[in-house]
A and B are shown apart, each in its own frame.
Chain A
Amino acid sequence: MSDIKRALPFSKLQQRNVLNKVLVTSLALFITLLFLAPLGYMFTTALKSETQMSDPGVPFWWPFSRVTFDYQGKALEVYRVPTETGIRELAMFKKTRTESWFIDPANPTADQIHWVGNWRLLEPAYKSDPQWQNFEKAWTDLNFPRLFVNSLIIAGVGTFGAVLSSILVAYGFSRFNFRGKNALFMILIASIILPAQVTLIPTYILFAKIGWTNTFLPLIVPHFFANAYNVFLLRQYFMQIPREMDEAAMIDGANPFQVLTKVILPQSIPALTAVCLFHFFFAWNDFFTPLIYLASKPELWPLSVGLQKFNALYGRLPNLIQTGALITLVLPVVVFFLAQRVFMQGVVFTGVEK
């Protein structure tokens, strides 16, 4: 069979399919390139020196620095000099407007090379020179370890509370009948569209009055009261678990808590993972809440606020800003790549079922 197929020339249809594949995949590659270009900018800029940032003549696509050559205790700048034997990289020893003398770094004891022409027209030689110490500088200037730990506490404890409470609420909505259940569930879902600003000011005043501003509490405690997205996702998942299993457990004398922990939760690991990850990064990326509640307490800032303040402070050092951005986005991006299936299925689960 396959021999016959191979022997035959491509049919028109097959040719068109292959062409389509090439075109569509090229388009996707092109978009990917555009999508990743900002990250390429970030990565290369993060490794650039301040000299390169302020010198528009240096090629922009990689961290470069000028090549110099140490000659008799002096650092000579190396240029790309056109000679009879092609372009050579030579160290400039002496220059005037119309002629210059060079030393060959490969053979410094040889005679000086004489070149006629305006040295300003010569192209400097560059070498790849990533400034890895930028990371060290951003790490300490940004106070990264402290910001990181703050983010970890806020997002970690918040996620614990949000997932715990959402499990209970989702279980209540998926397994029990009570008066007003449908109306309450509608209210829960409707709260997705509620703009947070409409509850912001009294909540802020309350937290200020009880002395919670400039502590983690306003960023953590509200998470312990479940939220619509988590409840919705978990409820959908719980409802797919056959009720017969609950009933079997109940016949064995399990109370509703035991049914939840012994029957429902062990079967909901994928949904629980998705909710944990979503909520963690939702809390991790939150900018507004820490901005207002921790405004005057820099030692409690999470990464989001710390990085913004760093930017406001170091606006003149774009390379360090990019280094800061880079170390901040590494964790979410790496976790995403490791758990991409969970993330992407979770998005679909909450977004489409509605």
Chain B
Amino acid sequence: MTISAQEKLAELKSKKRGLSKLERSRERWGYLFISPWLIGFVLFTLIPILATLAFSFTNYSPVNAEATRFVGVDNFVTMVTDAKVLKSLGVTVRYAVLAIPISFAFGLGMALLVNSKSLVGKDVFRTLFYMPSMIPVVAGALVWAGVMNTQTGWLNKGIEIFGISGPDWLNSDQWIYPALVLIGLWGLGNLMLTLLAGMQGVPNELYEAATIDGANGWQQFWSITIPMISPVLFYNMTLMLIGAFKYFDLAYVLKNGTGGPNDSTLFYNLNLYKNAFTYNLMGYASALAWVLFIIVLVLTALLFYSSSRWVYYAGEGKN
């Protein structure tokens, strides 16, 4: 690094093809700087993924490690008939089907509200709506478990005002899903803020032109706002879909990891955790993890494939 700037420039100009000494040095620096991630990726991602695959063909159990042997595709065959696995897939899908549309509708509604020209004190409401997202999951879960308590909770006391008695939210295998979705609405701050930023990025001329053409607010929302923020919708939808298959903390804390009532909170990930750490069936759990990986890959691929039909990138190539 002792060469002067003029030499550097000269070197840059003279060697258009092939790598100059400087470029080669810069390349080495580049690798050096990204090396923490590169090493971490190989050590904590790449090798473990392959190891998980290898484990999935064994009956490895840490409490009986000597008996470990290759079992071929047995784990995957067992899975197909394992009632708990099928149940956990059903639970996960059932939750996702209910949670994703409701969360999007609510998140969009909140973003529209805090973006509204008629709202007084926008910043205050944005902060207050976002705040619950900062509450640690365990604390939030316990607060909601209290709120949904049939004896002392406020939720059913609120419902009683309308002359109906509320359900036993957390102990009914039917009401647990609306309960989880409701709790989830508390933490939609990220969705709201990203949708809001998307809405603020829509050029005003589009709305002005639409107004001149006689489009009402509803039409403008569907024909301008939604297409213009579709990349943000797409990004959040991908995260949410994957999130359903990673779902763990809330279900675990609310029901102390039992998966109850009637296995209705036995999410895919909770079942995987139980197999690995309660039953010590780590070979089998590895197979479950790989199936999960494939499910997530397929879902993401499908979303990306479908995105060319409904996601509109206005600023393509701008950045």
What residues of chain B lie closer than 8 Å to A172, measured between beta carbons?
29-34
Chain B residue with minimal CB distance to A151? B136
- One of B82-90, B203-211, B292-300 contacting the partner: B292-300
Q: Do B139 and A24 touch (CB < 8 A)?
A: no
Q: Do B114 and A28 touch (CB < 8 A)?
A: yes
Q: Do B186 and A169 touch (CB < 8 A)?
A: no
Q: Is the interface of A mostly helix, strand, loop or mixed?
A: helix
Q: Do B130 and A176 touch (CB < 8 A)?
A: no
A103 to B186 CA separation, bound complex (whole angstroms) = 50
B279 at the interface (CB under 8 A from A): no
B72 at the interface (CB under 8 A from A): no
Contact of B23 among A177, A181, A347 (CB under 8 A): A177
B119 at the interface (CB under 8 A from A): yes
Contact of A168 among B5, B36, B186, B193 (CB under 8 A): B36
- One of A63-71, A123-131, A250-258 contacting the partner: A250-258
Q: Do B36 and A35 touch (CB < 8 A)?
A: no
Q: Do A198 and B235 touch (CB < 8 A)?
A: no
A194 to B242 CA separation, bound complex (whole angstroms) = 9
17 inter-chain pairs at a CB distance below 8 angstroms, sorted by A residue, are A20-B118, A24-B116, A32-B128, A56-B151, A175-B30, A184-B38, A193-B300, A250-B5, A250-B8, A287-B253, A303-B138, A332-B134, A333-B134, A337-B127, A347-B193, A348-B197, A352-B198
What residues of chain B lie closer than 8 Å to A38, measured between beta carbons?
143-144, 147, 154, 186
Q: Do B44 and A328 touch (CB < 8 A)?
A: no
Q: Do B249 and A288 touch (CB < 8 A)?
A: yes
Contact of A225 among B41, B239, B296 (CB under 8 A): B41
Q: Do B127 and A328 touch (CB < 8 A)?
A: no
Shortest CB distance B87–A (Å): 18
Contact of B146 among A194, A318, A332 (CB under 8 A): A318
What residues of chain A lie closer than 8 Å to B197, measured between beta carbons?
348, 351-352
6 further interface pairs, Cβ-Cβ under 8 Å (given A195-B292, A197-B272, A351-B235): A36-B128, A41-B147, A177-B27, A295-B277, A332-B135, A347-B189
A303 to B138 CA separation, bound complex (whole angstroms) = 9
Chain B residue with minimal CB distance to A192? B239
Shortest CB distance A143–B (Å): 15
- One of B91-99, B167-175, B282-290 contacting the partner: B282-290
Shortest CB distance A159–B (Å): 15
Contact of B55 among A176, A194, A202, A343 (CB under 8 A): A202
- One of A91-99, A114-122, A307-315 contacting the partner: A307-315
Q: Do B296 and A202 touch (CB < 8 A)?
A: no
A231-B37, A351-B235 in contact; A202/B139 too (CB < 8 A)? no
Q: Do A201 and B138 touch (CB < 8 A)?
A: no
What residues of chain B lie closer than 8 Å to A27, measured between beta carbons?
113
Chain B contacts to A: CB under 8 angstroms:
1-2, 5, 8, 23, 26-27, 29-41, 43-45, 47-49, 51-52, 55, 62, 110, 113-114, 116, 118-121, 125-132, 134-140, 142-147, 149, 151-154, 157-158, 186, 189-190, 193-194, 196-198, 201, 231-232, 235-236, 238-239, 242, 245-246, 248-249, 252-253, 256, 269, 272-273, 276-277, 282, 285-286, 288-290, 292-293, 296, 300, 319
Q: Do B44 and A200 touch (CB < 8 A)?
A: no
Type the 1/0 row for A151-181, where 1 means its CB is closer than 8 Å to any CB of B: 0000000000000010011011101111101
What residues of chain A lie closer than 8 Å to B137, measured between beta carbons?
285, 287, 304
Contact of B52 among A17, A199, A332 (CB under 8 A): A199
A25 at the interface (CB under 8 A from B): yes
Type the 1/0 row for A338-354, where 1 means its CB is closer than 8 Å to any CB of B: 00100110011001111
Shortest CB distance A282–B (Å): 11
A333-B131, A340-B130, A352-B232 in contact; A318/B149 too (CB < 8 A)? yes
A28-B119, A201-B55, A231-B37 in contact; A195/B242 too (CB < 8 A)? yes
A253-B1, A307-B142 in contact; A198/B116 too (CB < 8 A)? no
What residues of chain A lie closer than 8 Å to B121, measured between beta carbons?
25
A125 to B132 CA separation, bound complex (whole angstroms) = 36
A212 at the interface (CB under 8 A from B): no
What residues of chain B lie closer than 8 Å to A40, measured between beta carbons?
154
A285 to B2 CA separation, bound complex (whole angstroms) = 48
Type the 1/0 row for A193-230, where 1 means its CB is closer than 8 Å to any CB of B: 11111111111111010000000000000101110000
A146 to B170 CA separation, bound complex (whole angstroms) = 31
